[in-house]
Amino acid sequence: MPVYTCFQDVALKYFSAQMRSSWIRSCSPTKRTFARRGSIVAGAFARWKSRVLMLTVSPSTALHTLQTRSPSAAESNRQTFNGHTYQVFDTSLTWHEAKAYCESLGGHLVTINSVDEQNFIETLLSDAQRNHYWIGATDEASEGNWRWITGEPWGYSNWDVGQPDNENDRTEHYAHIFNVANPHYSGSKRFGWNDLNANGTFPHQEDFFGLNNFGFICE
């Protein structure tokens, strides 16, 4: 089995939020660089050598290694509800990256199927640090037809006022939960759900949105 030499994902914290959202982790037998869409960024190793931990991993664990960062206090705690285990991650990933990460752990992005489970999630987020947390709901297959990624029946929901609205160039197909009420929307409430694009961005509201303000919840 080939062995890959990779950069640990923690190095990405040294880039700006805008750059981080567009960078792709690179794991290659020959290239010790970070790759950006369409090009190889030269000199990444030289610039960040002192801040990057080099790891040697097999291909089967490369994704897990590259998406793992030093856990925050929230990430060190797992809690159980109704026979299911939940964990909050204050780590900035896109919706698809968060989905893949939860699945790499043997779980999935959280699904919320009752008011009791919603109340539990609210307690889980009581000390969380990010403005938003991805959950496992999407209408990417059919606009307006929201579903859970697990295939569970769609019944309970807790949409924030006026949501889902599919704004932002009609690309809002992924759900997250507000950990802070949206200051740009009158009547918004903490722990309401919202639809957004997979990168967590919204024009001219990066003080509140933006990938740097996102975490996710695994179940």
Q: How far is the CA of 71 from the CAs of 37, 81, 144, 184, in angstroms?
A: 28, 22, 35, 31
The whole-chain average pLDDT of the chain stands at 75
Q: What are phi and psi of 103, to 5 degrees?
A: -65, -30
Q: Is 85 helix (H, G, I), strand (E, B) or coil?
A: strand
204 with 164, same domain: the answer is yes
94 with 187, same domain: the answer is yes
142 with 60, same domain: the answer is no
Give residue 117's Cα distance to chain centre. 20
pLDDT digit string (tens) for 82-141? Answer: 999 999 999 999 999 999 999 999 999 999 999 999 999 999 999 899 999 999 999 999
139 with 31, same domain: the answer is no
Q: What are phi and psi of 149, to 5 degrees?
A: -65, -15
Residue ending a domain, among 38, 66, 94, is: 66
CATH number at residue 168: 3.10.100.10
pLDDT digit string (tens) for 169-192? Answer: 678 999 999 999 999 989 999 999
Range of the domain at 39: 4-66
41 with 78, same domain: the answer is no
Q: What DSSP state is assigned to residue 184?
A: T
For residues 111 and 102, is the Cβ–Cβ distance under 8 A? Answer: no
- The pTM for the full model equals 0.68
Q: What DSSP state is assigned to residue 109?
A: B
